[in-house]
Structures are given as structure tokens and as C-alpha cells.
Amino acid sequence: MSEEKKERKKEEAAQLKAEIKEMREHLMGLQQTIRAKGLPIIVLVEGWAAAGKGSLINELISELDPRFYNVVSPVITPESESRYPFLYPYAKAIPENGKIMFYDSGWMEDCVRKYMHREITREEYKKRIGAVNEFERQLRDGGYLLLKLFVDIDGEEQRKRMRALRENFETEWRVTREDLWQQREYKLFRECYETFMEKTGKLIPWHVLDGKKKNQAARDALKLLTKQVDKALEEGRYVGKPFEEDFPLIKMPKLASVDLSPALTDEEYKKELKKLQKRLGELHNIIYRKKIPVILCYEGWDAAGKGGNIRRIARPLDPRGFDVMPIASPEPHELARQYLWRFWTRLPRSGHICIFDRTWYGRVMVERLEGFCSEDDWKRAFNEINEFERQLTDWGAVVLKFWIHIDQDTQLARFNDRQNTPEKQWKLTEEDWRNREKWPQYEAAIDEMLEKTSTENAPWFVIESNDKKYARIKTLKIVIDALEKACEAQLA
């Protein structure tokens, strides 16, 4: 190299470093505004083994306040998480408002690797790509800033780097068998990465960085990040517009048209209950063994009898294999994240049954009617929830949703009974009376919910509960029927 060229190179390097320094400081200066405005940021760093993802992240965070960001490496999370939907570790790790989460490789690596290993079929792989697009859109629509980076190196460079790592005793362990396999199959991997980026880059684009030029990659990443943050802070929190997607829907009756007269005698009830609970207990064993996850969702009017109904389901179950998740109003750390987060983190492991006592449908009922979210938010939720539930059933879950239904007179009678019975008074709150006044608005919202979210894979069932005994038996039968089908399907 000529002296002149060397000089120019040196100048360029100095220039690069100055740029990096400047942008880092700019980002540092933004921290407070990000926090004050509550902007949540996700930086997904994907790329080749040995491409330098870790050190790129280190460049990005080096001046940041540690209270302000976190780094997760979901790929190396415990095996146990394979008993959850594939997006589970990523959904679980989303940052709260005003913080940055760096994913040191994430859902791309996960999908591509499993597909390359043939741990998932081509069809499953396609579904996962669909789910990734849904997941990313939901985050964006929920106000998250999502930056997706891919650190690229060519096969020759990767080979050299891995050799260097393996020659040093201290770093040898860093090259896994998996990495060596990637190196051998570099071409196939490249194809697969490229297709993945193409299929998931439409809504939120990928940015490919040159991993061979470390400083340049750091500069480019910082530039992208600061630019997007500047823009997001200027424009304010993004709220996604609602839109309709095609889901295979089951036609539901309007609540007003539901006949609430069905009832059972004590004798019929006792006989049926015993028989059905015995059967459910047996099925629970099979479910557990076959590792089928089961999610039962309960919604219903106040005093409709949700609690007693749930208890009749829970009674024959082995307590080791099920959980009841009571859902109250969200806590601060839950409010600070996308609204489905608190449900993602409560999902059962495969083989377990989770009974949700109230659910994510709060979004299109109480949150809608009380104005706890914007109109766009709840309108978008119908689709988002359908997507979420499809991800659950694609994972293999049985998802059943019960609307425990009574009429207004029955509710009033039960409210009065509660008021007049000292042991039951705690069950009745001021809020129950207030909700009762809004019956017509709730009924309209519920009708819309049933119409738009009763999908073939995750259907709603209206449970007539003026007679609680009838309601319990009906619910038990539906659960048993669905579990029997799921067990048979897995057998085939």
C-alpha cells in the first residue's frame, strides 16, 4: 500500500470512530426522552455464527445507562421452553415502555435452525414465518420500535474466524457443533436466511450489516437506531390501524336469542357430574402423557357462575397438571407492555391445563367500554387475538372459550342474594352494580366479540347458566369432547 493510501485509510478509520462516538453520545442524550415518552424499543440482532453479533451489541450499549436496556439471548435459553410456543421466549422478553431490549439472535435463528435440522416440516416453517410477521406487526401496532439487523459475513471469513477461535484454548468452547455444521452447510444456510428475510421484510425491513468491517457495522447500526428513535420521538407513539383478516369463523347466535331455560334436576346433575368428572380425570392423564397443552377461557356476566363452573372442571384434575389463572386488572409492570404480554407469560407448559378466569378478551369488553384503550386498539384486537390463538393451536393447544350466560333478572336475583347473605357479601362490589347499568353496551360488545373471534380452531361456546347445574354439565361435556378428539388426533 502506498503511503498516501495508508494515510487515507487512517483518516477514514479516525473519521469512523468519531462518527461512532458522536452517535453514541446522541443516543445517550435520547435516553431520557425515550424514558419520559415511554417508547419501547426492540433491536433484533441476527446473523451468522462468529459474525460478531455480541460485539456489535457491545458497541451499541457501551454508553447506555444499564438501567435502561437489557440483552437477551433467547436461543440459549433452557430446553424447558421448548414446551412452549416457539415465540414464547421472545414474547416473554419484550421490553417495558421506555426501555431497549437487544435480542442477541432471536426468532429468525430459531426458525431457520429448526427448519434446517428438519425439526419442523416445511409447512410448519411457513406457519412460523406467518406467525413472525404477525408478532412483529402486533408489536409495531402496539407502539414498539423494532429494528432488525443481520450481521453478514461470507463463508471464507466465517471459516477463518472459527479456526482462530478453536485454536485458542480460552475461546475454543465458543464454537459449537452447531456452528461447525453451519459452516459446512454455509450455502444452504445463506439461501435459507435470504428467503426468511424476504418473507419477513415487507412490513419491518431487515438491515444487512457487513460483519467483516466491524467499525462500519457499528456506525451503520447506530445510525439506523438513532435515526429511527429520532423519528419515533418526533412523531409520537404509533397506534396501528385496525384491519380485517380472513379467519374461518363459526356463526354465533346473538345473546338475546339464546334460550336460557334449560335446567337439570339435582338427581340428573349428580349422576352426570360424577360420570363426567371421572372421564375428565382419565383424559387429564392422557393429555399429560401426550404433552397436549389445554387452554380453557372463561368469560361471563358478573354472578353468572364462572367460579363454581371452574371448580367443577378443576375437581377431578391432578393439581400437578393444571392451573387456574385469575385475571384481574393489569399491574403497572403489565400495563407497561403490549397487552398480550401478561397472557403470553401465563401460558401452560405442554401437557398442562390452564384455566383462565377472565382473559385477553378484556380488551374488547371492559377496556373498550371504559376507555382504557383507544378505539383503534380494541378494533385491532379482534384480529390480534385471532392470530394469537391460532399461534396457540398451531403449537398444538386445545383452546376452548366459554361465555357463561345469564339474563338480567337472574343477575339481579343473585346480586340481591349476595347482598343479603353475609358470607357472600364480599363477592358483590360497587363495580358490579355499575357494570350492570351498562348491560346493553356490554351485550353489544360481547355480540361483536363472539361474532368476530369464534374461530374453528378456538371456538366460543355460550353456556346457558340461569341454571348453574346445567351450565356445569354442558361445559364439562364440551371439554371432554374436545380433549377426546385431541387425544385421538395425536394418536393418528
CA nearest 336: which of 116, 75, 84, 35? 35
Cβ closest to a copy of itself, residue 60 vs residue 482: 60
Q: Is 54 in the site for a copy of itself (CB under 8 A)?
A: yes
Write out the E strands in 291-396.
294-300, 322-326, 353-357
Bridge-partner residues for 150, per DSSP?
46, 208
| Binding-site string for a copy of itself from residue 154 to residue 183, where x marks contact by CB under 8 A and - marks none | ----------------xx-xx---------
Cβ closest to a copy of itself, residue 422 vs residue 440: 422
Q: Alpha-carbon distance 268 to 271, whole Å? A: 5
Smallest gap, in angstroms, from Cβ of residue 37 to a copy of itself? 13
User: Could you tell me the three cell numbers for 30?
Assistant: 435520547
**CA terminus-to-terminus distance, the chain:** 69
CA nearest 477: which of 318, 302, 275? 275
Smallest gap, in angstroms, from Cβ of residue 480 to a copy of itself? 15
User: Could you tell me the three cell numbers for 103?
Assistant: 435480542
Tell me which of 62, 416, 441, 490 binds a copy of itself, using CB under 8 A.
62
Q: If binding means CB under 8 A, how many residues of this protein chain bind a copy of itself?
A: 49
Tell me which of 184, 311, 346, 438 binds a copy of itself, using CB under 8 A.
311
Please report, for residues 114, 211, 270, 294, 477, the alpha-carbon distance to residue 55 in angstroms, rounded to integers and kept in the order given. Answer: 25, 10, 66, 41, 56
| Binding-site string for a copy of itself from residue 213 to residue 242, where x marks contact by CB under 8 A and - marks none | ------------------------------
Choices 54-62, 181-189, 230-238, 450-458; region in contact with a copy of itself by CB under 8 A = 54-62
How big is the chain by its Cα radius of gyration, in Å?
27
Q: Alpha-carbon distance 206 to 194, whole Å? A: 10
Tell me which of 16, 19, 73, 166 binds a copy of itself, using CB under 8 A.
73
Q: Is 38 in the site for a copy of itself (CB under 8 A)?
A: no
Tell me which of 58, 121, 329, 408 binds a copy of itself, using CB under 8 A.
58
Cβ closest to a copy of itself, residue 43 vs residue 381: 43
Measure the CA angle with vertex 353, ends 352 and 356; round to 5°.
135
Tell me which of 177, 202, 251, 320 binds a copy of itself, using CB under 8 A.
320
User: Could you tell me the three cell numbers for 475?
Assistant: 361445559
Choices 75-83, 212-220, 361-369, 391-399; region in contact with a copy of itself by CB under 8 A = 75-83
**Contacting residues for 105 by C-beta, under 8 A, at least 6 apart:** 45, 46, 47, 53, 73, 74, 75
Q: Are 196 and 112 in contact (CB under 8 A)?
A: yes
Tell me which of 16, 19, 37, 63 binds a copy of itself, using CB under 8 A.
63
Q: How many CB atoms lie within 10 A of CB 189?
A: 20
Q: How many CB atoms lie within 10 A of CB 144?
A: 23
Tell me which of 1, 78, 420, 488 binds a copy of itself, using CB under 8 A.
78
| Binding-site string for a copy of itself from residue 323 to residue 362, where x marks contact by CB under 8 A and - marks none | xx-x----xxx---------------------x-x-----
Tell me which of 11, 22, 318, 484 binds a copy of itself, using CB under 8 A.
318
Q: Could you give phi then psi for residue 106, rounded to 5 degrees?
A: -155, -130
Q: Is 440 in the site for a copy of itself (CB under 8 A)?
A: no
Q: Could you give phi then psi for residue 286, rounded to 5 degrees?
A: -70, -45
- Site residues (vs a copy of itself, CB under 8 A): 29, 32, 35-36, 54, 57-58, 61-63, 65-67, 70-71, 73, 76, 78-80, 83, 102, 104, 170-171, 173-174, 282, 285-286, 289, 307, 310-311, 314-315, 318-320, 323-324, 326, 331-333, 355, 357, 423, 426
